[in-house]
Amino acid sequence: MGRSPCCCHDAGVKKGPWTEEEDKALVEHIQKRGGHVGSWRGLPKAAGLNRCGKSCRLRWTNYLRPDIKRGNFSDDEERLIIALHAGLGNKWATIATHLEGRTDNEIKNYWNTHIRKKLLRMGVDPVTHQQLPPDHHLDGASASLLPEALLWAAAAARLGGLDTGALRQAQLLQHLLHTIGSNNDATNLIANLAAANSVLNSSSRIVPSHLLQDQMNMLSGTNYLQPGYLCNTTSNFTEQDVVQQQLIKDMSPGTSTFEAAGPADQHCNTTAAFAARDVAPAVDMLPVQEFAGLMEPMELQLPNLCSLESDSFWKDLLEDGYRL
């Protein structure tokens, strides 16, 4: 025999919205035990609640826990959710572990009510993160792996046990991905990916050659990196981004390539400007030299580059990518 049946099936157990009194009883009970719940099944009786243990757990984890952050999602949080969802899919609990004080339920709700609609308005499939065809009818093959997800997986596999140098490489790669996301020229993108591979660490490449080839094959048959996908996705918060604030300072107003960029890209603010100036060299330029020149000033700014995330964040994210 196993354990006794779950209380959830008991008749007379209250359901629906929680009252203030119930909240108070639950919080006081858990606090009395030093924040340790023990058995959720036994909790309602011990706390004097006519509720199912499962309902108590949900109420505590999604609403009453003291470390839950209230209020609107910040722009950084929104960007992080999109990036994590691109790699992890609907794994809300895993995504929630990367957003301090946010619950999986809250993130799921925010995705379904805000981000999902936003992406659809932009013509981006919120499931695959690929651009929808003009008629918005997806074919089955469009659910292929993302370039970003593939790169993350490759980076994670490559890094294994993280050290400072490897972490730095990952940060640079992350920034590169963000930058090239606003570039509409697949040829230049491939050239710069190859360059990045060479420059980041010539003795220990982040992106294995065969995966880079996969990227090239994928990009040649996809419209994922259409103008403004990532930069439009993030267009309402990149102004606050530390990296881009730095880039604004670096930009000279009369830079010809910036002025030559289309209105849509200019709308994408500094990310597009950065891409137009530095990451989209003519095909006949030497990509390695171009990229080396690009990375040099960035490396000096590294302490600010990923101010949003801690080292453990990156380690966790890379491990998630590896498990994909």
Give the binding site for DNA (CB under 7 A). 1-8, 14-18, 39-41, 53-55, 57-59, 62-63, 90-94, 104-106, 108-110, 112-114, 117
* 26-32: long-range pairs with CB below 8 Å, 24+: 26/56, 26/59, 26/60, 26/64, 27/64, 30/60
Q: Find the shortest distance in angstroms from Cβ 64 to DNA.
A: 8
Q: Find the shortest distance in angstroms from Cβ 311 to DNA.
A: 23
| Residue 102 neighbours by CB under 8 Å, 6+ apart | 68, 69, 73, 77, 96
Specify whether the CB–CB gap between 324 and 153 falls below 8 A: yes
Distance of CA 24 to the CA centre of its chain: 36
Closest to DNA by CB, 94 vs 201, is: 94
Q: Find the shortest distance in angstroms from Cβ 109 to DNA.
A: 4
Closest to DNA by CB, 52 vs 230, is: 52
Closest to DNA by CB, 121 vs 210, is: 121
Closest to DNA by CB, 233 vs 271, is: 233
- Tell me how far apart the alpha carbons of residues 121 and 235 are, in angstroms, rounded to a whole number: 14
Q: Find the shortest distance in angstroms from Cβ 157 to DNA.
A: 22
Q: What are phi and psi of 51, to 5 degrees?
A: -135, 160
Closest to DNA by CB, 39 vs 256, is: 39
Give start and end residues of each alpha helix (H) in 124-283: 147-159, 164-180, 186-200, 209-220, 229-233, 242-250, 256-260, 263-267, 269-274
Beta bridge partners of 131: 124
List the structure tokens of 1: 């025999």
CA-nearest of 172, 216, 211, 226 to 191 is 216
Q: Find the shortest distance in angstroms from Cβ 84 to DNA.
A: 11
Q: What DSSP letter does each residue of 11-30 carry, written as one string?
A: TT---SSPPHHHHHHHHHHH
- Tell me how far apart the alpha carbons of residues 275 and 184 are, in angstroms, rounded to a whole number: 9
Closest to DNA by CB, 54 vs 168, is: 54
Closest to DNA by CB, 89 vs 226, is: 89
Q: Find the shortest distance in angstroms from Cβ 252 to DNA.
A: 40
Closest to DNA by CB, 74 vs 105, is: 105
Q: Find the shortest distance in angstroms from Cβ 251 to DNA.
A: 34
Q: Find the shortest distance in angstroms from Cβ 70 to DNA.
A: 9
Q: Degrees (nearest 5) of the Cα angle 50, 55, 59?
A: 110
